[in-house]
Amino acid sequence: MSKTLDHRLYAYREDLADIRLEGLVTAERYAEGAPGEVIVPVADIRPRPDPGCSIDTQALLGEALRIFDISGGWAWVQLAADGYVGYVREEAIRQGSTSATHVVSVPRSFVYPGADLRFPHSRVLSMGSRVRIVGDAETRGTPYALLEDGSAIIATHLRPVGEAAAEDAVSVASRFLETPYLWGGRTGFGIDCSGLVQMALAMTGKSAPRDSDQQAAGLGAVIEPQSDGLQRGDLVFWKGHVGFLEDPDTLLHASGGTMTVTREPLQAAIDRIARLYGLPTIYRRP
């Protein structure tokens, strides 16, 4: 079997591989995989079918994926949005194409059993979650979007699929301030540094790789701070870390130092991080 392909982005094991990799990797059999979607608010994606191992990333309600194998309560999948490969609990997904019409465009939103905010909420969804809206209602002047099961979500918390929720990724990222840091997280309940970058860019209609090393390798154009200058929206990378610039002197990032999404002076961040991980490795402009 080939050892040169990134297991995060290419679905291959000794017993099974994506049929698109036939000729590139050796496996006992190859499969096209079946379309599927996430049916829980947040699905953890792990590198192994083991609840005790750390999560690599997360998939959100309504996100599309391809299912290559289901065994022992686990599904081996590849996410459609960023190509990430991993294992998810079988009960978190279903086979079939996604039919989502709208995307949650605020950090968090409640789902109610009906069109009334006084009802006890039934679920909480993160920004980036996808839902199928089949109708609308209004109660005491508040507009609601109705889901197929009759439940409701605040209509102003949604945007149609394919419509950018914002023009400025930094303004999206700033809405996550004080959100807890979570390794592998990419939701309004917990998020890591590269998840924040990916989510913020996604809300502006731009795709980005999932992990910081992938983003550092090819997200946008490389810039030189001395000759090109720094501006809002630029990305600063360290080994294993990334953050947005709110302005040339201020970093906005999901920080393992504070364990929250935070802002701090860029130079202070450079000095603090350098003691453990060295100086920034590259600057990019998405």
The first and second tokens of residue 130, run together, are 């996808």
DSSP state of 101: -
| Tens digit of each residue's pLDDT (9 = 90 or more) over 87-109 | 999 999 999 998 999 999 999 99
| Tens digit of each residue's pLDDT (9 = 90 or more) over 188-230 | 999 999 999 999 999 999 999 999 999 999 999 999 999 999 9
In angstroms, rounded to a whole number, what is the distance separating the alpha carbons of residues 282 and 104?
32
Residue the block writes with tokens 């997280």: 185
| Tens digit of each residue's pLDDT (9 = 90 or more) over 27-65 | 999 999 999 999 999 999 999 999 999 999 999 999 999
Separation in Å, CA 78 to CA 46, 145, 261: 11, 30, 28
In angstroms, rounded to a whole number, what is the distance separating the alpha carbons of residues 31 and 28?
10
In angstroms, rounded to a whole number, what is the distance separating the alpha carbons of residues 88 and 70?
10
**Total-model pTM:** 0.96
In angstroms, rounded to a whole number, what is the distance separating the alpha carbons of residues 110 and 112?
6
Question: Do residues 258 and 250 lie in contact, with contact meaning Cβ atoms separated by under 8 Å?
Answer: no
Specify burial of residue 192 (Cβ count, 10 A radius: 0-12, 13-18, 19+): buried
Helical (H) or strand (E) element with 271: helix 266-277
- Which domains are seen in the chain, by residue range? 16-95 (2.30.30.40), 102-160 (2.30.30.40), 169-285 (3.90.1720.10)
* E runs forming strands in 201-267: 221-223, 235-238, 241-247, 250-255, 260-265
Nearest to 184 by CA among 11, 45, 42: 45
Average pLDDT on 12-19 reads: 98
In angstroms, rounded to a whole number, what is the distance separating the alpha carbons of residues 212 and 194?
5
| Tens digit of each residue's pLDDT (9 = 90 or more) over 179-196 | 999 999 999 999 999 999
The first and second tokens of residue 265, run together, are 């002076």
Question: Do residues 256 and 262 lie in contact, with contact meaning Cβ atoms separated by under 8 Å?
Answer: no
